Amino acid sequence: MSAPLQFMPRRTSKASLEEMAAITPILAQLRFSDDDIVRLLSVNTPGGLEALRQAAYDLTTAEVGNKVFYRGIVELSNICVLDCYYCGIRKSNRDIERYSLTKDEVIETALWCAEAGYGSCVLQSGERRDKRFVDFVEDCVRKIKTRSVSETLPQGLGITLSLGEQRLETYQRWHAAGATRYLLRIETTNRELFRKIHPEKQSIETRLQALDDLKSAGFQVGTGVMIGLPGQTLEDLAADIRFFEGRDIDMIGMGPYLMSQGGAMRTEGMLEKHKLMPLALKMIAVTRLVLRDVNIASTTALQALEHDGRERGISFGANVTMPNITPRAVRKNYQLYDNKPCTDEDTEDCRSCLEKRVVSAGREVGWNEWGDSRHFGRRQSGSI
C-alpha cells in the first residue's frame, strides 16, 4: 500500500537514513510511551517524515478504509459571546460585520449539500446560549433531517454540530432533534496555556464538563487542539494525544494555529510556515498511530497554510474533510484566522476542487455516506 504523494528527495541523506532506522522500531509498535510520541513528533528529516507518513497512511487504510468523507460546513452566524484571544470572530472584535443566516438559508444550504452527495453537514457558529438560538438550531436540525431523506440518503443527512459549550439539556434536545455528532475542541490540554489564550471566565473545567455532557447525551464526540500555539511544546502536544486517548474520543479536528488580525495575540506571532506545516502533519500521523480507528479531519487551516495542505493531511492519516458551503455573501465575515481559503469560491468550485485533492492523495470520496467514526461503533457495541 502506498500513497502517490512522496516527500522523499531522490538521494536519501545520512541523517534521513539514521532517523528512519531510529523510528522504524517505534512505528512497528501497537502501543506508544510518552517518549515514543515525543520522538515521533520531533522527526526532522525528509526520510523520517516519509516513514511516519507511510505508517500512518497504511494504518488509516487498514483501520478505517480508503474513503474520505465529506461534511459540508455551514457557518450559520459569526455572533459570539466568547472572547478567545486567538480568534478573529471573538466578541471584542468590532471590525467585522456580524451576520446570522435565516432558518431557510441554513436549511436550503444543508439540502444543497445532501443533493451534492456530501452525506453529512456540520452546523458551526460563534457561541450563543440564549433560548432563541437553542430553539433555532433545534428546528433547523429537525427540518434538515426530515427534508433530506431520499433514495440515496434513506436516513437523511448526517448532522454534526459545532456550537460550543451548552447545557446538558440543550445537548439532549439537539441530539433528540437528529444531530448525532458534536465537535468541541479543547484547544490545548496544558492548563497554563489554556489560561493564557482565553479570558479568565472561560475555564478548561467547563470545557471538560461539556465534553462529558456530550458523551452522556449520546453524541459521537469530537475534539482537538491548535498546533503551534505560542509557548506550546512537543510534550504538550503528546499530552494532547494522550488526552484524546484517555477520553475515548471518536473524532479529531486539529489544525495549525494561525495568526488573526482580529485576534488579541498578534504580538506573539506564529510559528514559521516551514516548521508549522510538518508539525501539523506529524500531529495528524501520530494521532492516527495512537488512536487508530477514529475519524480525523484534514482541516481548512491546513489549506490556509499551504495550497495543498488538505491533501497532505489526508496522506498523513486524515479521513474526513469539511468543504465550506456557507453562502458566499457572508463567507468573508467568518475569518477565524488570516488568509482563510475558499472565501471567494462558489460551493460548486469547492466540490470539484476537493475531489481532485482527495484523489491526488490516493483516496476516494465516500459519496452519500455518513462515514461515522468506527471507534464510536465499537464503543457503542461494547467491543472496546
And the C-alpha cell for 269?
506571532
The option from ligand 5AD, ligand FES, none interacting with 354 (CB < 5 to 8 A, set by class) reads ligand FES
Q: Could you give the CA distance from residue 151 to residue 367 in angstroms, rounded to a whole number?
A: 13
Closest CB to ligand 5AD among residues 336, 365? 336
178 counts as binding ligand 5AD under rule CB under 6 A: no
Query: Whole-angstrom distance between the N-terminal and C-terminal Cα of the chain?
Result: 27
In degrees rounded to 5, what are phi and psi of residue 168? -50, -40
**Strand 251-256, strand 158-162: pairing:** unpaired
The option from ligand 5AD, ligand FES, none interacting with 258 (CB < 5 to 8 A, set by class) reads ligand 5AD
For residue 308, the minimal CB distance to ligand FES (Å) is: 11
Buried b (16+ CB within 10 A) or exposed e, 221-232: bbbbbbbbbbeb
Stretch that binds ligand FES, among 83-91, 147-155, 286-294, 343-351 (CB under 6 A): 343-351
Stretch that binds ligand 5AD, among 10-18, 206-214, 251-259, 283-291 (CB under 6 A): 251-259
Distance of CA 354 to the CA centre of its chain: 16
**Strand 158-162, strand 120-125: pairing:** parallel
349 counts as binding ligand FES under rule CB under 6 A: yes
For residue 37, the minimal CB distance to ligand FES (Å) is: 31
Closest CB to ligand FES among residues 172, 360? 360
The option from ligand 5AD, ligand FES, none interacting with 263 (CB < 5 to 8 A, set by class) reads ligand 5AD
305 counts as binding ligand FES under rule CB under 6 A: no
87 counts as binding ligand 5AD under rule CB under 6 A: yes
Tabulate helix, strand, coil % of the chain (nearest 5): 45, 15, 40
> Of the candidates 257, 116, 149, 288, which has an alpha carbon nearest to the alpha carbon of residue 193?
257
204 counts as binding ligand FES under rule CB under 6 A: no
E runs forming strands in 236-284: 251-256
| Torsion of the alpha carbons at 276, 277, 279 and 281, rounded to the nearest 10 | 160
Contacts with 14 (C-beta within 8 Å, 6 or more apart), sequence order: none
70 counts as binding ligand 5AD under rule CB under 6 A: no
244 counts as binding ligand 5AD under rule CB under 6 A: no
165 counts as binding ligand 5AD under rule CB under 6 A: no
Q: Could you give the CA distance from residue 257 to residue 170 in angstroms, rounded to a whole number?
A: 30
Out of 322, 354, 358, 361, the residue judged to bind ligand FES by CB under 6 A: 354
> Where do contacts with ligand FES occur on this chain (CB under 6 A)?
323, 342, 345, 349-350, 353-354
> Where do contacts with ligand 5AD occur on this chain (CB under 6 A)?
86-87, 185, 187, 226, 255, 257-258, 260, 263, 301, 336-337
